[in-house]
Amino acid sequence: MSRDVRPLGELARAEGPDTDLLRTVEQFLFREARYADELDYDAWEALWTDDAIYWIPANGDDIDPTTQMSIIFDNRARIATRIKQLHTGKRHSQEPASRLRRLVGNVEILDADPEHPEDIRVAANVVIYESRERGITIWAAGLEYRLRDTPDGLRMAYKKVKLVDNDRPIHTLAFLV
């Protein structure tokens, strides 16, 4: 799948609408980040489409999740289970919840995925500081999204979190990445 950005000349010609779209996408990603950081689980869950995939691969970024282990490979039902578990108050790895702050940057709008031409394909980077009794853990990842324009606003149909250390031993990751 090509990650080529549009030629700069074309982007410059289309500056108005593209800038608007980029700003809209950025605002959406920042809002998602804030919901996750501030433990607003229901607001975060509501950002997903019904056909959503939430994926954190392991041992590389481009593995086959149907034959290889991933850290998370959730369909929409499993996202709901994850949120319900957090809501029980007995998800010990998040009781007490991690204190979190993340920075999302390097937001780019990519060419559409031919299999999902209706969705906006987005790349970004994220750095997350997680504080727990164990200490501070720093997480860094590249993000890939497919966002869908719906009557309720942008929604996530796909989010892939490419942790830089997904091939090494990592600590518990029970908060929403």
Partner 1 sequence: MAIADHVAPDWGALIQPDRVHGSLYTDPAVYAAELERIWYREWIYVGHVSEIPEPNDYVRKSIGPQDVIMSRDKEGQVHLLLNRCTHRANLVCDAPKGNGSAFRCPYHGWTFSNTGKLLGYPFNSGYGGREKKQELGLGRVPRVDQIHGFVFGSFAEEGPTLLEHLGGAAEAFDRLTALSPTGEVAITAGWLQHRAKANWKMLLENETDGYHPQFVHSSIFSVAKSGIGDLYGEKSTAVSRDLGGGHSENDLRPEFRRLDQPLGWFGTHPDRVPDYVRALEARHGAEKAREVLIDGAPHTMIFPNLFIAEIQMFVIQPLSVDETVQHVTAVQFPGAPDMNRRLLQQTIGSVGPAGFLLADDTEMYERNQRGVAVRDPEWLVIARGTHRERRDEDGYLIGDATDEVPQRGIWRHYRELMEAGA
| Contacts to partner 1 by CB under 8 A | 56, 58-59, 63, 65-73, 78, 81-82, 84-85, 88-93, 133-134, 167-174
| Shortest CB 30 distance to partner 1, Å | 23
In this structure, the dihedral spanned by the alpha carbons of residues 114, 106, 160 and 67, taken in order and rounded to 10 degrees, is 80
Q: Rounded to a whole number, what is the distance in angstroms from the first to the last CA of the chain?
A: 24
Q: Alpha-carbon Rg of the chain, whole angstroms? A: 17
CB of 61 to partner 1, least distance (A): 13
State which residue, 25 or 86, has the beta carbon closest to partner 1: 86
- Residue number, 109 or 141, with CB nearest to partner 1: 141
- Least separation in angstroms between CB 70 and partner 1: 5
Which residue's CB is nearer to partner 1, number 55 or number 145?
55
Closest listed residue to residue 145, CA positions, set 109, 171, 170: 109
Cβ 167 to partner 1 shortest distance, Å: 7
Integer angstrom CA distances of residue 41 from 28, 35, 36, 95, 158:
16, 7, 7, 14, 18
Closer to partner 1 by Cβ: residue 25 or 156: 156
Q: How does DSSP classify residue 93?
A: G
